[in-house]
């Protein structure tokens, strides 16, 4: 992690990183005008803060911690952010806001931002794989909230230029903040979900990185030893996943960019519906019913949920 800032990315990885940053910026701009964005703006205006980082799409300048929180909530306000299909994590909406806030604060060049984001994506996905995503969700915890904190501390600490000791302490302070409950599926207005998936993790990551930057010390290796974070969060930890394919496999090349602003399990269903609509000229007069079959884990997320854009039945009906 301490070397990531100086590590030149392969050309295809750098290109994928630019795409993900641009995609996340689009999600941030669109989300700023939706309810999660409006609520985040209202909250940050009340907080004030040292003017070091911008809340995008507004005139607000605040602390890097506050900016990361707000921009993160913007980024997951309308389900346009990317996702990683294996872990089902959402790296971009937390990792990119954390990196942007720290980069503006430090005056970092674009190359540093790109490398920091690539590191954040890797840490986000690898950490969740090491926990075993189904084990996290099986404990009623938010796998997305859990992974976003660790991904964000990766990107934030990279921008801060922390050395090995600083990185270790930043990881430990991030681990102390890891949280999130799977109850977000019952959020009707996507506000708490935007916080859980993105704003919370971005805030936590920047907090941990700036604490380590300020010289706070802590546990040297939170990933190993007695009562480590992998044991704390998983009944079946797989620590080897943290380094498997490291340097060859870059998760930033593997996330999916959504064509539709809906929950990821609905993407394929909508795609199939639009294909059938084009081929057969479907109308309300010639369709009696529509049956959607999805993998069990995805179906559980989008079956008749309170949030319209995470409700498969609703999205097919209005499509």
User: For 128, phi and psi rounded to 5 degrees?
Assistant: -70, -35
Residue 306 sits in the same domain as residue 194: no
Count of the separate structural domains present in the chain: 2
Mean pLDDT of all residues in 167-186:
97
pLDDT at 298: 86
- Let me know whether 152 and 111 are in one domain: yes
Q: Which of 224, 253, 282 is the last residue of a domain?
A: 253
Locate 303 and state its tokens: 């079956």
User: Is the same domain home to 221 and 279?
Assistant: no
In a domain, 51, yes or no: yes
Cα 145-146-152 angle, rounded to 5 deg = 80
- Return the DSSP state at 139: T
CA dihedral sign of residues 15, 244, 147, 77: positive
**Do residue 243 and residue 281 come from a single domain?**
no
Q: Within this chain, do residues 242 and 307 fall inside the same structural domain, yes or no?
A: no
What is the pLDDT averaged over residues 133-162?
Answer: 96
**Strand segments (E) across 22-136:** 53-54, 61-62
Q: Looking at residue 297, what is its pLDDT?
A: 82
- The tens digit of pLDDT for each residue in 17-52 reads 999 999 999 999 999 999 999 999 999 999 999 999
The answer as to whether 258 is a domain residue is no
Does one domain contain both 63 and 163? yes
| pLDDT, tens digit, 9 for 90 and up, residues 96-144 | 999 999 999 999 999 999 999 999 999 999 999 999 999 999 999 999 9
Is 199 among the domain residues? yes
pLDDT at 230: 97
Residue 41 lies in a domain: yes
What pLDDT score does 225 carry? 96
CA atoms within 13 A on the CB side of 14: 8
What tens digit of pLDDT does each residue of 222-264 get? 999 999 999 999 989 999 999 999 999 999 999 999 999 999 8
pLDDT tens digits for 202-230? 999 999 999 999 999 999 999 999 999 99
Non-local (6+) Cβ contacts of 105 within 8 A are 52, 53, 64
Please indicate, yes or no, whether residues 223 and 243 belong to a single structural domain of this protein: yes
pLDDT at 301: 87
Q: Work out the pLDDT band at 199, boundaries 50, 70, 90.
A: very high
Residues 116 and 95 in one domain: yes
Decide if pLDDT at 300 tops 90: no
- Domain span at 278: 264-318
172 plus 300 within the same structural domain: no
Q: Do 198 and 289 fall into the same domain?
A: no
What pLDDT does residue 125 have? 98
**Where is pLDDT greater, at 235 or 164?**
164
Q: Which of 208, 96, 204 is nearest to 146 (CA)?
A: 204
CATH code for position 155:
1.10.4100.10
Q: Which residues of 175-204 are buried (b: 16+ CB within 10 A; e: fewer)?
A: bbbbebebebbebeebbbbbbbbbbbbbbb
pLDDT at residue 94, rounded to an integer: 99
Q: What is the mean pLDDT of the chain?
A: 96
Assess whether 268 and 131 both reside in one domain.
no
Q: What is the rounded CA–CA span in Å between residue 248 and residue 244?
A: 9
Per the CB < 8 A criterion, the answer to whether 204 and 98 are in contact is: no
Give the pLDDT confidence score for residue 211 in this predicted structure. Answer: 99
Residue 306 has pLDDT above 90, yes or no: no
């Amino acid at each position: 992690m301490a070397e990531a800032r100086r590590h030149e990315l392969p050309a295809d990885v750098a290109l994928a990183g630019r795409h993900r940053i641009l995609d996340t910026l689009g999600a941030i701009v669109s989300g700023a005008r939706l309810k999660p964005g409006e609520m985040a703006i209202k909250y940050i205006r009340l907080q004030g803060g040292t003017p070091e980082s911008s809340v995008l799409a507004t005139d607000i300048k605040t602390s890097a911690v506050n900016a990361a929180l707000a921009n993160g909530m913007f980024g997951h306000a309308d389900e346009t952010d990317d996702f990683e299909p294996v872990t089902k994590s959402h790296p971009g909406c937390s990792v990119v806001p954390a990196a942007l806030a720290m980069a503006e604060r430090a005056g970092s060049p674009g190359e540093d931002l790109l490398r920091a984001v690539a590191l954040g994506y890797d840490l986000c996905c690898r950490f969740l794989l090491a926990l075993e995503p189904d084990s996290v969700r099986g404990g009623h915890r938010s796998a997305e909230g859990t992974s976003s904190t660790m991904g964000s501390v990766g990107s934030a600490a990279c921008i801060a230029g922390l050395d090995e000791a600083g990185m270790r302490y930043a990881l430990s302070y991030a681990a102390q903040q890891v949280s999130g409950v799977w109850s977000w599926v019952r959020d009707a207005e996507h506000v708490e979900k935007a916080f859980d998936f993105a704003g919370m993790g971005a805030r936590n990551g920047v907090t941990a990185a700036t604490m380590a930057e300020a010289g706070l010390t802590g546990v040297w290796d939170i990933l190993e030893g007695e009562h480590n974070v992998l044991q704390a969060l998983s009944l079946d930890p797989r620590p080897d996943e943290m380094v498997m394919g490291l340097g060859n496999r870059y998760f930033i090349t593997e996330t999916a960019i959504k064509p539709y602003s809906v929950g990821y399990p609905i993407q394929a269903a909508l795609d199939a519906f639009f294909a059938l609509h084009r081929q057969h000229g479907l109308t309300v007069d010639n369709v009696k019913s529509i049956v959607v079959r999805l993998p069990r884990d995805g179906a559980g997320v989008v079956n008749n949920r309170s949030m319209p854009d995470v409700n498969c039945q609703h999205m097919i009906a209005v499509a």
